[in-house]
Amino acid sequence: MRILVTGGAGYIGSHTVRQLIAGGHEVVVYDSLELGHRQAVPADRLVVGDLRDIDHVDQLLVAHRIEAVVHFAAYAAVGESVAHPAKYYTNNLLYPLQLLDRCRRNGVQKFVFSSTAATYGVPEVVPITETTRQLPVNPYGATKLAFERALADYADAYPFGFCALRYFNAAGAAADGSIGEDHTPETHLIPIVIQAATGKRPHVEIFGTDYPTPDGTCVRDYVHVDDLAAAHILALDKLAPGMKLAYNVGIGRGYSVREVIRTAEDVTGLKVPVKEGPRRAGDPPSLVASADKLRAELGWAPQYDTLKAILETAWRWHKAHPNGYDG
């Protein structure tokens, strides 16, 4: 298939691009490199550009006779979305709506979208299934849910099918340590814990120890980035016009912040300095996926089904690239 991958030089995008290329697809990566890395994708696949420049995107759809779009490009920091909703509504909803309409006008019939557990807000019951009510509690989740709705309306009205993959917490790195997670600033727990272990930061702050969870810290479902990537390949294989697919992507097991820290100490053999702090605004106590639908309908089977196995890959990447892609 001829596939345009927006945000393909980012963390999850670059791992997916690698699998798409290995699967024989013709891939065009479109990324502004604002948050992504040139080194994360093969140079001959990368077109540097911003989704804001929709005519540029349109030219690519036509020139490469694109058949499917995998759309990762977005901003993804929950706290920032509360402080700067305009930034999120523009990049995560306005530009994607323009992209969607250019897809319609150019006959692109398959679309895979990076959605998120944040569309569920604070769920009443965990594990979360795809029928759990989607009630986002921050602008980030709201923009992602709004775009899911637009996709569904397009699929009802036009010859178009989509798959919304609702990721839980992406983690880990390629098994060979060649690509991995490098965000600036870093907000995600696992890279922060590793940076604290290696002395690159003084400590990891635990955001809240009074949650209604077994050890008082937040529980999350960490899913390996290559298993996430594999879900995109399966979705593309399945998609056909008229389909409206949505799947949770998680391993179906939750780990608390303290468990992440303990496991990182075990994997690295290093002590992680910890400071207990207040809750971070907008954090649900527990987010754990039921990915039964993804397993049953697409045959998805994660290769990494423990936090330890995921952390080992993150640690390998960090040791090989202590300063991320720049060193």
Ligand X SMILES: O=c1ccn([C@@H]2O[C@H](COP(=O)(O)OP(=O)(O)O[C@H]3O[C@H](CO)[C@H](O)[C@H](O)[C@H]3O)[C@@H](O)[C@H]2O)c(=O)[nH]1
Q: Is 207 in the site for ligand X (CB under 6 A)?
A: yes
Contacts with 74 (C-beta within 8 Å, 6 or more apart), sequence order = 7, 91, 92, 96, 114, 143, 144
Q: Does 9 bind ligand NAD (CB under 6 A)?
A: yes
> Which candidate in 11, 30, 140, 211 is catalytic?
140
- The interface partner of residue 95, options being ligand X, ligand NAD, none and the CB cut-off 5 to 8 Å by kind, is ligand NAD
In 3D space, the residue among 10, 298, 62, 302 whose CA is nearest the CA of residue 163 turns out to be 298
Q: Which two tokens stand for residue 45?
A: 């696949």
With CB cut-offs between 5 and 8 Å by kind, which of ligand NAD, ligand X, none does residue 205 bind? ligand X
Is residue 88 near ligand NAD by the rule CB under 6 A?
A: no
- 169 counts as binding ligand X under rule CB under 6 A: yes
Distances (CA, A) of 124 to 118, 130, 214: 14, 13, 17
For residue 235, which of 169, 172, 293, 168 has the smallest C-alpha distance?
A: 293
Q: Which of 147, 160, 167, 300 binds ligand NAD (CB under 6 A)?
A: 167
Positions 273 through 302 that interact with ligand NAD (CB under 6 A): none
| Gap between the Cα atoms of 299 and 292, Å rounded | 10
Could you say whether residue 69 binds ligand NAD (CB under 6 A)?
no
CB nearer to ligand NAD: give 11 or 304.
Answer: 11
182 within 8 A of 194, measured Cβ to Cβ: no
Q: Is 26 in the site for ligand X (CB under 6 A)?
A: no
Q: What is the dihedral of CA 20, 289, 83, 87, to 10 degrees?
A: 30
Question: How many residues touch ligand NAD (CB under 6 A)?
Answer: 28
Size of interface with ligand X, in residues (CB under 6 A): 20
Residue 140 among the catalytic residues: yes
Residue 173 in contact with ligand X, rule: CB under 6 A: no
Cα 204 from Cα 219, distance rounded (Å): 16
Question: What tokens were used for 321?
Answer: 């690239």
Where in 239-258 is the site for ligand X (CB under 6 A)? 257
Helix (H) and strand (E) counts in the chain? 11, 14
Q: For the CB of residue 159, give the shortest distance to ligand NAD in the complex, in Å.
A: 25
Choose, by CB under 6 A, the member of 119, 169, 256, 286 that binds ligand NAD.
169
Residue closer to ligand NAD by CB (options 24, 281) is 281
Give the residue, chosen from 45, 64, 84, 280, that forms a contact with ligand X under the rule CB under 6 A.
Answer: 280
Q: Among 44-52, 172-180, 276-284, 317-325, which window interacts with ligand NAD (CB under 6 A)?
A: 44-52
Please tell me whether residue 3 binds ligand X under the rule CB under 6 A: no
> Which uninterrupted H or E stretch holds 226?
helix 225-238
Burial class (CB in 10 A: 0-12, 13-18, 19+), 119: buried
180 counts as binding ligand NAD under rule CB under 6 A: no
Strand pairing category for 244-249 and 204-207: unpaired
- Comparing CA positions, the residue from 221, 206, 179 lying closest to residue 275 is 206
The smaller minimum CB distance to ligand X, of residues 156 and 266, is found at: 266
Tokens representing residue 33 in the block? 């490199």
How many Cβ atoms from other residues are within 10 Å of residue 68's Cβ?
A: 21
* Closer by beta carbon to ligand NAD, 95 or else 160: 95
Binding site for ligand X (CB under 6 A): 76, 78, 116-118, 169, 187-189, 192, 204-207, 218, 220, 257, 280, 283, 287
Q: Please list the active-site residues.
A: 140
Q: Which residues contact ligand NAD by CB under 6 A?
A: 6-7, 9-13, 31-36, 50-52, 72-74, 76, 91, 95, 114, 116, 167, 169-170, 183
